[in-house]
Amino acid sequence: MSRKNDPMTRPLPKWLNTMLIVGTLATVVVLELKRPLRRNRQDKLTRDVRNATVSLLAAATVSLAEQPVVAPLSLAVHRQRLGLLNIVRLPVWAEVALSVILLDYTLYIWHYLTHKAPLLWRFHKAHHVDIDMDASTALRFHPGELMLSVPWRAAQVRLLGISPLALALWQTLTLMAIMFHHSNLRLPFALERRLCRLIVTPRMHGIHHSMVRDETDSNWSTIFSWPDYLHGTLRLNVPQDKITLGVAGYQHPDKVTLGKVLEMPFRPELPAPKPQREPLSISTSTLAG
């Protein structure tokens, strides 16, 4: 197959990418207004404006810092057949599917590091201090965290052997997944109990955003939930109405204004008692309401 006709060198059509991302965002925003999972603790309009501003800065950072590095690298990796997935020639569908699975798994590792490496946590904390959580939380990452993630993303592409098509599909699926599982959407309980065996869901990820450390240190998956099952980091047994979202030292809206969120990585973490939870009576692998 000629390079010109190679489907793996082309990203998703812009119209399709836009339709999937905007469609997902619009759908979850409407549904979470109709079926909220948690009560809001701060003014929603003020919070939405703040989150939108941080999200725009994050999007600009990805465009200026990540895309110019990762997109050309992905094309070179595919054309020179570099990386794990290029050791043998696979059918297009198999290569794309394995690429998405492996990229999602290595993102699990990166997410774990953003909590455990002190420098990375300084920046990732700006995402976690949101004291309410909905689809807007999904997109509010500190620009500094996205800058620091560029070498990791480049390593994912180079070592795994990720084509432009697979990279674009994974990026789109990741955005759709994080908007869904950050949403304040109360799914029918029986449906979510089944869904969380396959993908990350709102109740599952809400536990990760708890200010109780043992709960924050769980549910690190992004699209598929199997990495948490594999590594024993799954926790489903905390009822949503028992969760206090955010970080212990940042529970008042005055501490998470736009300016304070942006400067947060460069200031010491505010001290606060470490909240604990009494042992729960159900298994960690059993979804609570």
Residue type, 203: R
pLDDT band at 4 (very low <50, low <70, confident <90, very high): low
At residue 65, what are phi and psi to the nearest 5 degrees?
A: -110, -40
Distance CA 146, CA 129 (A): 17
Beta bridge partners of 199: 224
Is the pLDDT reported for residue 3 higher than 70?
no
Residues contacting residue 163 through CB under 8 Å, at least 6 positions apart: 8, 9, 74, 77, 78, 95, 96, 99
The model carries a pTM of 0.95
Averaged over 192-218, what is the pLDDT?
A: 97
Averaged over 255-262, what is the pLDDT?
A: 96
Residue type, 44: K
Residue type, 222: T
Q: Would you say 221 and 110 are in contact if contact means Cβ atoms under 8 Å apart?
A: no
Distance CA 196, CA 204 (A): 7
At residue 210, what are phi and psi to the nearest 5 degrees?
A: -65, 150
